[in-house]
Structure 1
Amino acid sequence: MNLKFDLSGEWEFKASSSEFLPQELRTKLSIWNKAKVPGTIHLDLLANDFIPDPFFETNEIDVQWVDKVDWIYRKKFLLDFDFSDFHSVKLTFEGLDTVGSVKLNGEIVGHFNNMFIPHSFEVKNLIKSGENEIEVFFKSPTVAGKELEEKYGKLPVELATHRVYLRKAQYSFGWDWGPVLTTSGIWKPVYLEFIKFAKIKHVWFKTLSISNSKAEISAEIELEKFTEDDLDLKIEIFYKDEKIYERSLIQKKRDRVRAHRFEIISAKLWFPNGYGEPELYTAIIEISKDGEVIDKITKKFGIRTVKLIQEDDGEGESFIFEINGEKIFCKGANWIPADSFLPRVRKEDYDKLLKMAKDANLNMLRVWGGGIYEDDYFYDKCDELGIMIWQDFMFACAGYPEYDEFVDNVKNEAIQIVKRLRNHPSIVLWCGNNENEWIWVDKTQKSPDEMPGAKIFRDVLKEICEQYDGTRPYWRSSPWGENYPNSEINGNHHQWKVWSQWIDYKNYENVKAKFITEFGFQAPPHIETLKEVLKPENRNFNSFSIHHHNKQTEGIPRLFRFLTSHFKITDDFEDLIYLMQLNQAEAIKFAVENWRIRKFKTAGTLFWQWNDCWNVISWSAIDYRKRPKALYYFAKKFFNPVLPVLKRIDDSLKIYILNDLPRQVSGELIVRTFTTYGAKKFEKKIKVDAEKNSVAFAFESNLKGLKVEDFQTDYIHAEFKYNDGRISENSIYFEEPKFMKFKSPGLKFKISKVDENLYRLKLYSKNLARAVFVDFSGFDVELSDNFFDINPDSTIEVELKSDKTLSELLKSIRIKFLT
């Protein structure tokens, strides 16, 4: 059988150029030092105490010399077995960041200039029994990019202009939420492949058609063959643990791609989260020669169709995803790389962030074009969880080069990426780039086809997606529209007038776009996440350090500008964090509910952003340490499949019942008017039927009829009880929190142990307790809900997951609410 010889783990590194090295490090970095692969140069420098933690305080500024230096990595290893019977020996790097060359035993075996794809070199004639040595040379990405920019000319680029000349994660050059930490290194696993006859290179299960009785599937299996020998090929298909199909074939001579059609009777279909189960099948493919298995691969796949519906909807042209014939309202967020140093991202990180997405009722994530094509494990998890992926190609906020070598590099990258990812049912759209055309048109008033790099996004990527996939739509850019890239009447839309152009979030109500792929509002991370990177004296909004940890120009001033519009201002640092998180959550809630009641005139809302890559004040719902902000808990509710939405129009109130479920819901809507000081002034019960996948208009009244008299004390709460007692609820307040009159809520709580590491927190409030935030000082406790309201004379139960004792939880609990 083919063999893999792992070469990850312990390596060595040293500097290959000295011009930009700090004087005190020149001697140390001229000799070999310990390195770890997968890794990056910054992580190796940090592990050897050559640089401080770049995330701490303003240390990022002090490590800017690192990306200007050339580096060499090497590994010595022993081969103590006979490999003469193998037809090929490949030295394979799954990821090299970004420009350089590879030597084996003193001979150059190849060059590389793209971090997004694997690099594999034939080395059978160079590898030897006994000791071998690999050297990998990394040219400074900053120098490499600037040399190409000098040769071909400066292009219209946001942020670092030289970045566009390198096929490298663009965010590493700095972004308005990310530090300038431009990495180099062997960032993915490396190994030797010893191959007999052939290896399985790509496997793709393509859904050809679906009917009520069966699904027709094409299995496309691509081999890399090294001889003319015929090979035996076996395909086995399993649903759960039951084998449902098996076929043996012969792969003739030099045939490299084998397409085999088969049928699955009563096929189980893959659906997004909330619309059905994300059903998956398991395939085992093996090739053998004379009864000996040569290579074997296990691959999961889903059966589903995807269509983008673009048709006249009376307001313009729709933009609706249809999965298996079912229209989907897309509820989600934008995904960025989960660390500035990518090798630090583990499977456990993906597990937590993606499970949190499913738990918050998200059904789509957009993999943003300034980051990376994510690890296979990321897409595997999205397949399992039913999270659809809007997949950008890795281009962002710039015009790009069009000289032949660059375009050829892009073509090779795109082909490899499409082949690697096309088997994932979660990916429902390929997108050419992030904001390139929109920025170009706004700044130049010229046609998007005049933009440098236009042919890549208009022609090259589209043709590759059609040729090597064709089962999902290709979209030129995000945003993109027919007559204007950021149109509101067709295509998809990025909404940045709010926040970035200093407009407050109530303006979201005026936005009637078809599919909003970016919109956002900033908030600080959890206090413990900031404490990791700020000295005690800098934990305030007047410090240079905290401004350094907000990368948007005038980011901190915006936080205060929008906070003062809605909340009382305090000088307490932790209270400000609490209020700013609330402000962010209220902003995105207002936007999402406004667009959800327009279903399917608006068919998707993906807020910016889901996660962070370092300890930063940003637009994220979950901070770098995976601590949820208020926005996360709000998202659980405003993305709820069934939700009452209350809209005030002048002196009237309308209530809608949103139903994203693929079945009708029937229930009772209870509308109550409360005062903040505990009185119930009005109650009405209404029977409501909401058709499947629809919006039902449920109730309308003027405010006077609802006994709303004082906006500073009166508010309305709606509770919808449906299908076996499930409850979805929402409230509307008529005055800004800073002007509301709150009484002491008379809050009482009790924590009881339910099971191992599982507790129940009960909270009772005599009066309204608004925006109750529960925290456990010094402990990370997972809460099922937070930042919630407790209506007068009501009790709320919250599940707590923690390995701490009951005594520790009781001593550490801290509760905040609006006053």
Structure 2
Amino acid sequence: MFRNLSYNSIKPQKLVFGLSVLLAATTYNNKANAQNSYELNSGWKCAPIKSVNVDGAKLSEPSYNTNSWMPATVPGTVLTTLLNNKKVPDPFYGMNNERIPDIYKTGADYYTYWFVKEFKEAPATNGNQVYLNFRGINYSCDVYLNGHKLNKTIQKGMFLRFTYNITPYLSKSGNNKLAVIVHPPDVLGNANGGQGGDGTIARNVGLQYTAGWDWIQPVRDRNTGIWDKVTIQKTGAVRLKDVHVITNVPGVRMPDGAQKPAIIKLETEVSNPTSAPVSGNLVYEIAGTSISKSVTVKANSTLPVKLADYTLQNPKLWWPNGYGPQNMYDVKVKFVTGNKTVSDQEIVHVGVREITTKWNAHTGSREVAVNGQKIFIKGGNWIISDAMLRLSDMRYDAEVRFHRDMNLNLIRVWGGAMTERPEFYDACDKYGMLVFQDFWGSGDCNGRWVDPMKKDDQWTRRKYPDDHNLFLRSAEDQIKMVRNHASLAMWCGGNEITPPEDLLIALKEDILPRLDNTRWFIDYSNSEEMSDNRLGGNGDGPYGIQPLNVFWNFKTYPFNSEVGSVGVSDYEALKRFMPTENMVAPEYNESTRKSKVDSVWDYHKYIGYDTSINKYGKAKNAEDFTRKAQLVNYDQYRGLAEGFTSHMWDWYTGFIIWKTQNPWTAMRGQMYDYYLDPNACLYGLRNGSEALHVMYNPVSGMISLANNTFKPHRSMMLVVKAYDMNGKVKEITQVFCDIVATSTKNVMSVKQVLDEMAAKEGAFLSLQLLDTDKNVLSENLYWVADSKGEYSGLQKMKTDELATTARFVKPGQVEVTLTNKQNCVVSFFNRVSLVDATTKDRVLPAFYDNNYVSILPGEQRKVIIDYSATTKTNLAVDVDGWNGNKGKIISIAK
């Protein structure tokens, strides 16, 4: 295959230390009983359908030899397997994606593959049962085991879990062979450059982005494959199905102190596939207490069972990030037969919390409350963890942790992708991220707008997908899969458009009331149910680079589901996917308002910075451009967060950034890149989204406070200083102040004194909020432009070499200390990186409690770095500052 490709001319993707291990890691199904369930995640083989001349029954016979077949990646896609076998170049590097045949041109058979797997499992005895579970196949399949076809009709649906009772078909020898033929989506979609290509990809119940979008190029196989877990599960005669736990937390709660009781509700289905009835007890345990019910399950039947409500005394509650701890309970559910044998059991991780919403008449938008307390939503839009579905619990944990580190409290899962996996929700439970989960649809593909790139007209597209019954069955299944997670807060009909009317009615009036009636459902992502029409209609945006005054002065939608900006990473990050010859800085023409952009930058969806880079001096080259882009990134996202926060509960009840991550090597809308390397966007957003925050309005010159916590803060000292470009300080004021809970407060204006000081070359404004013990509660440093709106002083700052030390605090943690001398200039915008001491490559992922830090004259800052403790110990720290310490490598003391 692919003999037309010249691989010697293709530069391989530069793997970053630590990432290959992370991507290869397999996830563990923490919902299953460990000793009775295991994954089939290695030893698979595959071959394209055209090279196989026998049927599945023959293929799955143990005697049929498939040793010469290609090793397959399962879970994974066909394209992932081809990449791992070096049959295609890395589509994330340069223009390599253009060198891979697209399924629309090749036809579906080109990416239709047989997958086989041999495994050992002895026949079940004494009424025990063995099940084969598929958690995700894209798009349809037939399944064979030991010469037997398991499905009567073709199994179809990317978002459906399939389960087969394989007890009758297990080999007496214990040596079994599984064969699965996987077909691509029914409709392949023409990747013609439109959003979702020609739109027809949405005729399937599946991923829409695979035909290309404004942040990704097409995925050539449309993610065909056994893309999610395959497990073998062993039970007794009775099996548990779709356990459902609901928690009620009445009243208004605080995160600390004794709690009034909470109510725990549990129901499940119990299935008995045997020819005799089975009696026993359905039991669940929580916090040391057992609740049980006697049950008899008739032969060949499934029985829904609801247990008595349990009153949990003094519960440890789950809270969103920034408002309280993320306490979790293990709820152990089991069916115990009359002879005291555990037939089946599950452990469900439960966060005790209650989510409600109401209309805020003042803002004209929906307001979200958790445990009775209103939450100001600070969110990020999420596409998918990896465009080629190389999913892992380690990567999920890292990405969601980044969102926690940005001081966000919500992630919206965009409707052109998928229902996220339980491992994603595990991470959101852990880090306190509420989740806004879209169903599968988008305004682009599903007909909201006239679009000349689309094959069908709006009337036709409005009826997508083709199979409405499959959509509804998939919705039911995916709801059951994730509904026990504390983090799941909202269901949404689709991205910027509702599903067709019959699907919407079924979701609202039947499926969700029946399966998950405790969460907010909104018809579509920017619905009037989120925001009213004070601006002439509901909506989202603006997008792209914005002057900072827009965030403070322009009133956008009061619960904005998408508002965002740029996100180019630094030079080190670009080198991972961009050829050297394409490292050419974009040039913006102010007269034509257009940019001259290199072809690879354009292919990877660069979005323009317009005049913002030139304010720091015209970029000399790509490295200089990306360095200056980080200043813009930080300012943009700090300004966005501060602007919205400054008007919380007055103009706004929430905002969700478009977007916080990329599942491909795109160059826009990202706080960290595909390789999990953060850029300055992350730290600007982290600063501006602090729970208790001091901030400066660049338009009015007002210094104000924001308190996103449930408690007032009193007797705080506000310290305001300004520094010129030579490090000379002007102490403007220090004053005691306070602020009530969940509010903002203006303190004073420094506009006149700062304008005068910054007029010639610009200046720095330092804000600190201290408690009565002089501990820093919040601090902020702004760089202020000169009277012409330029950063002329930054362009000629004196060099300032920091004194820098680093030490190992414990395995997996390093502390870096940065010290600036007295009577010196500000040491500005220092990027700290944990690196391999030999190669100088960054260790990824690594988590910094702050970065892009500036150190005032005579002051000291510490940066804590967390990383995987299994990473090799040949580590060092790189410090790269705006006006010093460029590429300085610091050894780490033991």
Q: TM-score, normalised by structure 1?
A: 0.86
Cα separation, 1, equivalents of 2:754 and 2:72 = 72
Matched, 1:527 2:593: no
Cα separation, 2, equivalents of 1:53 and 1:403 = 32
Cα separation, 2, equivalents of 1:349 and 1:77 = 28
Deviation, structure 1 residue 76:
5.0
User: What residue is the counterpart of 1:738 in the other structure?
Assistant: 791
Cα separation, 2, equivalents of 1:575 and 1:260 = 65
Which letter does structure 2 place at the counterpart of 1:225?
N
The more displaced of 605-614 and 795-804 is 795-804
Which letter does structure 1 place at the counterpart of 2:141?
G
- Relative to structure 1, is the Cα distance of residues 463 and 526 closer, same or farther in structure 2, using a 3 angstrom cutoff? farther
Deviation, structure 1 residue 299:
1.1
User: What residue is the counterpart of 2:415 in the other structure?
Assistant: 369
Deviation, structure 1 residue 37:
1.7
Answer whether contact 1:104 1:133 (CA < 8 A) is retained.
Answer: yes
Cα separation, 1, equivalents of 2:760 and 2:504 = 52
Q: TM-score, normalised by structure 2?
A: 0.79
**Which of 519, 527, 538 is the equivalent residue of 1:480?**
527
- Relative to structure 1, is the Cα distance of residues 592 and 690 closer, same or farther in structure 2, using a 3 angstrom cutoff? same
CA deviation map 1:543-598 (0-9, x unaligned): 9996445557xx54x42424346432212222211212321221122121111011
Q: How does 1:505-654 map to 2 (within 5 A)?
A: 506-508=549-551, 509-541=553-585, 547-548=599-600, 550=602, 555-556=605-606, 558-564=607-613, 566-601=615-650, 602-649=652-699, 652-654=700-702
- Relative to structure 1, is the Cα distance of residues 801 and 109 closer, same or farther in structure 2, using a 3 angstrom cutoff? closer
User: What residue is the counterpart of 1:197 in the other structure?
Assistant: 237
User: What residue is the counterpart of 2:187 in the other structure?
Assistant: 145
User: What residue is the counterpart of 1:784 in the other structure?
Assistant: 849
Answer whether contact 1:361 1:636 (CA < 8 A) is retained.
Answer: yes
- Relative to structure 1, is the Cα distance of residues 563 and 197 closer, same or farther in structure 2, using a 3 angstrom cutoff? same
Answer whether contact 1:646 1:731 (CA < 8 A) is retained.
Answer: no
Answer whether contact 1:645 1:657 (CA < 8 A) is retained.
Answer: yes
User: What residue is the counterpart of 2:828 in the other structure?
Assistant: 770
Which letter does structure 2 place at the counterpart of 1:353?
E
Answer whether contact 2:121 2:176 (CA < 8 A) is retained.
Answer: no
Cα separation, 1, equivalents of 2:117 and 2:698 = 71
Cα separation, 1, equivalents of 2:863 and 2:464 = 59
Answer whether contact 2:762 2:792 (CA < 8 A) is retained.
Answer: no
Matched, 1:410 2:471: yes
**Which of 358, 383, 398 is the equivalent residue of 2:429?**
383
Which letter does structure 1 place at the counterpart of 2:733?
K
CA deviation map 1:289-316 (0-9, x unaligned): 1211111111121221111121310xx5
Cα separation, 2, equivalents of 1:817 and 1:480 = 47
Cα separation, 2, equivalents of 1:157 and 1:616 = 15
The more displaced of 711-720 and 567-576 is 711-720
Q: What secondary structure does 1:334 align onto?
A: strand
The more displaced of 162-171 and 519-528 is 519-528
Deviation, structure 1 residue 774:
3.9
The more displaced of 783-792 and 328-337 is 783-792
User: What residue is the counterpart of 2:179 in the other structure?
Assistant: 135
Deviation, structure 1 residue 470:
1.2
Cα separation, 1, equivalents of 2:785 and 2:847 = 32
Deviation, structure 1 residue 224:
2.4
Which letter does structure 2 place at the counterpart of 1:786?
N
Cα separation, 1, equivalents of 2:121 and 2:507 = 46
Q: What secondary structure does 2:264 align onto?
A: strand
Which letter does structure 2 place at the counterpart of 1:34?
P
Deviation, structure 1 residue 347:
1.8
Answer whether contact 1:538 1:545 (CA < 8 A) is retained.
Answer: no
User: What residue is the counterpart of 2:805 in the other structure?
Assistant: 751
Matched, 1:349 2:395: yes
Cα separation, 1, equivalents of 2:397 and 2:629 = 28
Which letter does structure 1 place at the counterpart of 2:240?
I
Deviation, structure 1 residue 621:
0.1
Which letter does structure 1 place at the counterpart of 2:479?
V
Matched, 1:297 2:346: yes
User: What residue is the counterpart of 2:880 in the other structure?
Assistant: 814
Answer whether contact 1:761 1:800 (CA < 8 A) is retained.
Answer: no
Cα separation, 2, equivalents of 1:783 and 1:383 = 21
- Relative to structure 1, is the Cα distance of residues 424 and 491 closer, same or farther in structure 2, using a 3 angstrom cutoff? farther
**Alpha-carbon RMSD:** 3.4
Answer whether contact 2:828 2:882 (CA < 8 A) is retained.
Answer: no
Cα separation, 1, equivalents of 2:67 and 2:292 = 57
CA deviation map 1:469-499 (0-9, x unaligned): 11111011111126x9895669974213544
Answer whether contact 2:46 2:70 (CA < 8 A) is retained.
Answer: yes
Deviation, structure 1 residue 673:
2.9
Unaligned stretches of 5+ in structure 1? 20-28, 438-451
Answer whether contact 1:176 1:551 (CA < 8 A) is retained.
Answer: no
Which letter does structure 2 place at the counterpart of 1:738?
Y
Deviation, structure 1 residue 100:
2.9
**Which of 97, 112, 123 is the equivalent residue of 1:60?**
97
Cα separation, 1, equivalents of 2:195 and 2:507 = 21
- Relative to structure 1, is the Cα distance of residues 107 and 570 closer, same or farther in structure 2, using a 3 angstrom cutoff? same
Answer whether contact 1:114 1:167 (CA < 8 A) is retained.
Answer: yes
Deviation, structure 1 residue 747:
3.3
**Which of 206, 225, 245 is the equivalent residue of 1:185?**
225
Aligned identity (percent) is 21
User: What residue is the counterpart of 2:770 in the other structure?
Assistant: 721
Cα separation, 2, equivalents of 1:497 and 1:384 = 31
Cα separation, 2, equivalents of 1:586 and 1:758 = 27
Cα separation, 2, equivalents of 1:360 and 1:815 = 22
User: What residue is the counterpart of 1:443 in the other structure?
Assistant: none
Cα separation, 2, equivalents of 1:546 and 1:668 = 50
Deviation, structure 1 residue 435:
1.9
Answer whether contact 2:209 2:416 (CA < 8 A) is retained.
Answer: yes
User: What residue is the counterpart of 1:288 in the other structure?
Assistant: 336
Deviation, structure 1 residue 540:
2.3
CA deviation map 1:494-546 (0-9, x unaligned): 213544xxx65543331342122222222323433332322322222479996
CA deviation map 1:332-377 (0-9, x unaligned): 31222121222x3322212222223223322111122222222212
- Relative to structure 1, is the Cα distance of residues 696 and 208 closer, same or farther in structure 2, using a 3 angstrom cutoff? same
- Relative to structure 1, is the Cα distance of residues 512 and 789 closer, same or farther in structure 2, using a 3 angstrom cutoff? same
Q: What secondary structure does 1:9 align onto?
A: coil
Matched, 1:118 2:171: no
Answer whether contact 2:142 2:181 (CA < 8 A) is retained.
Answer: yes
Which letter does structure 2 place at the counterpart of 1:250?
S
Answer whether contact 2:72 2:115 (CA < 8 A) is retained.
Answer: no
Cα separation, 1, equivalents of 2:820 and 2:754 = 29
Cα separation, 1, equivalents of 2:357 and 2:120 = 53
Deviation, structure 1 residue 199:
1.0
Deviation, structure 1 residue 738:
3.5
Which letter does structure 1 place at the counterpart of 2:558?
K
- Relative to structure 1, is the Cα distance of residues 817 and 391 closer, same or farther in structure 2, using a 3 angstrom cutoff? farther
Answer whether contact 1:458 1:476 (CA < 8 A) is retained.
Answer: no
Unaligned stretches of 5+ in structure 2? 1-32, 53-65, 252-258, 447-460, 588-595, 887-894
Q: How many residues align?
A: 770
Answer whether contact 1:208 1:216 (CA < 8 A) is retained.
Answer: yes
Cα separation, 2, equivalents of 1:814 and 1:114 = 49
The more displaced of 261-270 and 201-210 is 201-210
Cα separation, 1, equivalents of 2:179 and 2:872 = 52
